[in-house]
């Protein structure tokens, strides 16, 4: 859709446009604040807001009751306690150009009636791309932490914020009676990249950028998860304060430092618009080298008495402005669309681009995410596209810019075979990702698979880890699982191993011993080691118990892969086996080279039959009070209750001090908040399953 310039709109068009923008912005807010997975880039979102503001300025009579300019965010989700900000958490006006900074300074001077030639200090500091948070200290002790929410009411994230190392739970030195410290929770780029790797290994969707990862991590109902996320905090402001904050903002920043908070070191004092513009350019040049993401520089008048005189207009202070960096966009052409296979077998389409400079960095590839993304934007080889780096680590394709031209190539067809190993690819219902089913034989995945195979829960082979597995693959000593058990009996291979870095005689002897010790292996560990999707420890045990022996399991799986209805029904009847697992098993065993890899490995081993299930005796749940809330993913309510009772628990209906565990499913309501308030331990469905798996 082409947009009319604001100046060209008549009243009816403006009304319609304001309605559209209100809806689009509300939807974007919801995705950002509540789902922590926005679908607009910052630049696109800012553009919607600027357009809305410009139309409202031209047609003040048309400003809607629900106008987005009245709101800073979206209301909090119900599962967290609410916190009312006695001093609202507001937002900042944006400036994009030196002229707008000139205007800002002129506005401030005019408002304060400054005489010609008088200069004021401005503190200019990076605008951190994270999410704002308010930390309330009473007598120096952190008593509450809250998100911004809609600016007036935020969410109580105290338990989560206490896990952030940069946030002192007690202020150092002399602390005021009350001080709400405000600042930004963020994640460093490198930590974000590691987190996304872990997400993908665990089969979870990666986060689009560090800010989303921070939001998702801070808004975890389970603070143990937050504690494992590498969140950080920069302090840059205050809310309620007793005694009031006075003097200069720059002095306040020093006080924050003295209290043990972290203040951004790249702060400067500027006295003219020219100095501010130069400082912003300098920070902009530093931007790619910073360990965290910033999206501009905030200029704030230093003297607090002047801040108070200037006050606020709408939802933003008159005494500050965000001088943003331009969205880093460029146009180029798609040479080709290729497919990358990740370590977990996910196929990611990539646009191979004619190299182009985007904000100082040469870009020649951009992710196309998945099949649906390509379809939605109809991206084809040969197209001219707009790409951007705006904050995101991997360049994105925004849109095709010459779709109207003649002689366009055909729509892109997503491959049905893995480009690396030619196995079939599989896309489960409800998922967007196609995955290669050749897990054990696909060179792209083999290192990951073999690491899982030798890992603690599977074959548990000491001396082989993240570093050694790729080393052995590289040396040609490992290709597929069976090789692991051939190695210790092959003199030539052992000699070759001895020549590799870090492999002395003692280490080799120990490795040989530890491999030989695993030649006899329980069935569930064998199954787990194959790395079939959805076969974690719980499901591997389920399968082992359901079939009893390796040969029975293997026969069953081959029947399943051949579409045998009886076998399907049998597996479907097994308690807690669902469609996702059945689909993954069928896809895996439908690939002849997977079956061969399984057989080759089995030929090296003695696989122990699974013991028949015993009844629960010393269950960790025995005598405990358990409550369920929300929608569970694999268990129905009746089954969950029966299962808890089978393991000796009592199942209650409302949360109280006597509750031992609250099992929280999707869309959990007030119970989760109540449990949090009472300090009752909340666990996920997965954790509940694990608690009830020991028999």
Residue 691: C-alpha distances to residues 172, 610, 648, 695 (Å) = 41, 20, 12, 10
SS (H, E, C) 110-125: HHHCCCCCCCCCEEEE
**Residue 409 beta carbon to ligand IVH: minimum distance, rounded to whole angstroms:** 42
Nearest to 46 by CA among 395, 327, 399, 394: 327
Between 237 and 665, CB nearer to ligand IVH? 237
Between 234 and 628, CB nearer to ligand IVH? 234
As given in the structure block, the two tokens for residue 595 are 């079956």
CA distance 555 to 149: 55
**Residue 237 beta carbon to ligand IVH: minimum distance, rounded to whole angstroms:** 5
Between 322 and 512, CB nearer to ligand IVH? 322
Between 192 and 503, CB nearer to ligand IVH? 192
| DSSP character string of 176-218 | -SEEEEEEEEEE-HHHHHHHHHHHHHTTPPPPSSHHHHHHHHH
Between 213 and 334, CB nearer to ligand IVH? 213
Could you give the 3-state DSSP secondary structure of residue 39? Answer: coil
CA distance 519 to 527: 14
Give yes or no for residue 237 binding ligand IVH (CB under 6 A): yes
| DSSP character string of 266-300 | --EEE-SHHHHHHHHHHHHHHGGGSSS-EEEEEEE
**Residue with the CB atom nearest ligand IVH in the bound state:** 132
**Residue 79 beta carbon to ligand IVH: minimum distance, rounded to whole angstroms:** 22
CA distance 537 to 543: 10
Q: For the segment 321-380, give every residue that binds ligand IVH (CB under 6 A).
A: 322
CA distance 237 to 519: 62
Q: What is the largest CA-CA distance in the chain?
A: 92
As given in the structure block, the two tokens for residue 54 are 């410009």
Q: How many CB atoms lie within 10 A of CB 488?
A: 19
CA distance 483 to 447: 13
**Residue 424 beta carbon to ligand IVH: minimum distance, rounded to whole angstroms:** 47
Give yes or no for residue 626 binding ligand IVH (CB under 6 A): no
Site size for ligand IVH, by CB under 6 A? 14
Between 238 and 628, CB nearer to ligand IVH? 238
641 is catalytic: no
Q: For the segment 124-143, give every residue that binds ligand IVH (CB under 6 A).
A: 125, 127-128, 132
Q: Return the range that interacts with ligand IVH (CB under 6 A); candidates 123-131, 245-253, 428-436, 499-507.
A: 123-131
**Residue 183 beta carbon to ligand IVH: minimum distance, rounded to whole angstroms:** 8
Burial of 615 (0-12, 13-18, 19+ CB in 10 A): exposed
Cis peptide bond N-terminal to 243, omega within 30 = yes
Of the candidates 113, 127, 324, 674, the residue annotated as catalytic is 127
Between 70 and 416, CB nearer to ligand IVH? 70
Q: For the segment 63-122, give every residue that binds ligand IVH (CB under 6 A).
A: 90-92
Between 210 and 630, CB nearer to ligand IVH? 210
Strand partners, 357: 362
Q: For the segment 147-186, give every residue that binds ligand IVH (CB under 6 A).
A: 184
Q: Return the range that interacts with ligand IVH (CB under 6 A); candidates 283-291, 317-325, 437-445, 505-513.
A: 317-325
Nearest to 419 by CA among 350, 504, 466, 507: 350
Task: Tell me the torsion sign for CA atoms 557, 534, 537, 453.
Answer: positive
| DSSP character string of 657-694 | TT--EEEE-BT--HHHHHHHHHTPEEEEHHHHHHHTT-
**Residue 312 beta carbon to ligand IVH: minimum distance, rounded to whole angstroms:** 8
Give yes or no for residue 317 binding ligand IVH (CB under 6 A): yes
Q: Binding residue for ligand IVH (CB under 6 A) from 192, 236, 412, 589?
A: 236
**Residue 126 beta carbon to ligand IVH: minimum distance, rounded to whole angstroms:** 6
**Residue 328 beta carbon to ligand IVH: minimum distance, rounded to whole angstroms:** 19
Catalytic residues, by residue number, are 127
Binding site for ligand IVH (CB under 6 A): 90-92, 125, 127-128, 132, 184, 236-237, 298, 317, 320, 322
């Amino acid at each position: 859709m082409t947009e009319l310039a604001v100046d060209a709109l008549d009243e009816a068009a403006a009304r319609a446009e304001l309605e559209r923008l209100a809806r689009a912005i509300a939807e974007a807010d919801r995705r950002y604040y509540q789902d922590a997975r926005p679908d607009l880039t910052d630049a696109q979102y800012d553009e919607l807001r600027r357009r809305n503001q410009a139309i409202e300025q031209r047609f003040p009579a048309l400003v809607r009751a629900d106008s987005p300019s009245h709101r800073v965010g979206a209301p909090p989700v119900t599962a967290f306690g609410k916190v009312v900000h006695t001093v609202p958490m507001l937002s900042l006006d944006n400036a994009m150009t030196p002229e707008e900074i000139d205007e800002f300074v002129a506005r401030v001077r005019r408002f304060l009636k400054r005489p010609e030639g008088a200069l004021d200090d401005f503190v200019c500091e990076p605008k951190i791309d994270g999410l704002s948070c308010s930390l309330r200290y009473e007598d120096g002790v952190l008593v509450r932490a809250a998100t911004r929410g809609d600016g007036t009411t935020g969410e109580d994230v105290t338990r989560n914020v206490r896990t952030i190392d940069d946030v002192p739970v007690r202020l150092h030195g002399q602390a005021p009676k009350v001080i709400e410290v405000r600042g930004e929770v963020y994640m460093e780029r490198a930590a974000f990249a590691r987190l996304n790797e872990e997400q993908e290994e665990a089969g979870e969707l990666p986060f689009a950028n560090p800010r989303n990862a921070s939001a998702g991590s801070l808004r975890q109902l389970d603070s143990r998860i937050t504690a494992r996320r590498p969140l950080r905090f920069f302090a840059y402001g205050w809310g309620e304060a007793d005694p009031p904050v006075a003097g200069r903002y720059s002095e306040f920043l020093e006080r924050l430092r003295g209290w043990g908070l972290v203040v951004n070191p790249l702060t400067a004092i500027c006295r003219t618009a020219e100095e501010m513009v130069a400082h912003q350019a300098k920070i902009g040049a530093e931007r790619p080298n910073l360990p965290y993401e910033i999206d501009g520089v905030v200029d704030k008048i230093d003297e607090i008495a002047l801040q108070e005189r200037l006050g606020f207009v709408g939802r933003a202070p008159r005494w500050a402005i965000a001088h943003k960096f331009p969205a880093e966009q460029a146009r180029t052409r798609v040479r080709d669309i290729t497919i990358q296979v990740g370590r977990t077998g996910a196929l990611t389409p990539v646009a191979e681009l004619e190299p182009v400079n985007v904000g100082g960095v040469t870009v020649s590839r951009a992710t196309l995410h998945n099949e649906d993304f390509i379809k939605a934007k109809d991206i084809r080889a040969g197209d001219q596209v707009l790409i951007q780096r705006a904050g995101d680590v991997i360049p994105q394709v925004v849109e095709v810019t010459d779709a109207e031209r003649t002689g366009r190539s055909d729509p892109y067809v997503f491959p049905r075979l893995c480009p690396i190993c030619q196995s079939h690819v599989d896309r489960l219902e409800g998922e967007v990702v196609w995955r290669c089913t050749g897990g054990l034989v696909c060179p792209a995945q083999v290192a990951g698979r073999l690491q899982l195979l030798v890992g603690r829960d599977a074959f548990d082979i000491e001396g082989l880890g993240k570093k050694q597995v790729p080393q052995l693959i590289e040396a040609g000593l490992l290709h597929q699982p069976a090789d692991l058990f051939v190695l210790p009996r092959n003199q030539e291979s052992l000699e070759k191993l001895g020549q590799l870095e870090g492999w002395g005689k003692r280490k080799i002897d120990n490795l040989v011993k530890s491999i030989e010790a695993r030649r006899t292996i329980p069935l569930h560990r064998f199954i787990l080691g194959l790395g079939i999707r959805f076969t974690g420890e719980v499901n591997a045990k389920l399968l082992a118990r359901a079939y009893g022996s390796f040969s029975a399991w293997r026969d069953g799986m081959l029947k399943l892969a051949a579409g045998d209805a009886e076998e399907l029904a049998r597996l479907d009847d097994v308690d807690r086996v669902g469609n996702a697992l059945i689909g993954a098993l069928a896809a895996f065993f439908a690939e002849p080279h997977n079956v061969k890899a399984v057989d080759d490995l089995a030929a090296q081993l003695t696989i122990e039959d699974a013991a028949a299930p015993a009844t629960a005796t010393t269950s960790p749940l025995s005598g405990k009070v358990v409550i369920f809330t929300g929608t569970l993913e694999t268990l129905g309510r009746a089954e969950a209750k029966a299962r808890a009772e089978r393991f000796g628990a009592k199942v209650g209906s409302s949360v109280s001090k006597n509750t031992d565990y609250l099992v929280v499913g999707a869309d959990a309501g007030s119970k989760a908040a109540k449990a949090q308030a009472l300090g009752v331990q909340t666990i996920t469905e997965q954790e509940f399953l694990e608690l009830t798996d020991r028999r």
